[in-house]
Amino acid sequence: MEQTVQMLQTRIQTINKEKDGLNTAKESLDGIEKKEEVEVLVPVTESMYVPGFLYQTDKILCDIGTNFFVEKHPSEAIELLDRKIRMCDAALEGDGKELTEKTSATNQIKQKLNQRVKEMMDQQRATQQQGASTIATS
């Protein structure tokens, strides 16, 4: 059960990172249309960039999945990003509900186990006390 909770937490973090990236991409596209020679930093790696210029801002290459790219107008690219953001929101909602249910179930199980352990310890103490009083009277 705890592994399921950890998996859900990891999945929620991953989806949140994906959603943040989509929102960043959407912000980057805002106002880019019809601007000529926009100066940008082009990523070479995650930590290295080279300066560059955008010349055709009316065409955006969009990854539609499994490394397939299509050319879209900026407004279409924003619609695509909005759709992906809605998908992330739906996944977060579902995973959030499941996480709440699993966490609640885990807590109930732990509470029952702790209660049972306490009962067993109380029972063991009572048996020890009874044995001690029997020895003392002999």
In order along its 138 residues, the chain shows pLDDT tens digits of 788 889 999 999 999 999 999 999 998 888 787 777 888 899 999 899 999 988 888 888 998 889 899 999 988 999 999 999 999 999 999 999 999 999 999 999 999 999 999 999 999 988 888 877 666 665
Q: What is the pTM of this model?
A: 0.72
At residue 100, the pLDDT reads 93
**CB count in 10 Å sphere of residue 77:** 21
- Residue 126 gets the label, from left (phi > 0), alpha (psi -120 to 50) or beta, of alpha
Query: Which of 74, 95, 108, 71 shows the shortest CA–CA distance to 18?
Result: 95
- Residue 34 gets the label, from left (phi > 0), alpha (psi -120 to 50) or beta, of left
The residue type of 40 is V
CA separation (Å) from 70 to 19, 59, 67, 102? 21, 10, 10, 40
Enumerate the domain spans of the chain.
Answer: 2-102
Query: Which of 88, 56, 85, 53 shows the shortest CA–CA distance to 72?
Result: 56
Instruction: Give CATH for domain 2-102.
Output: 1.10.287.370
At residue 28, the pLDDT reads 84
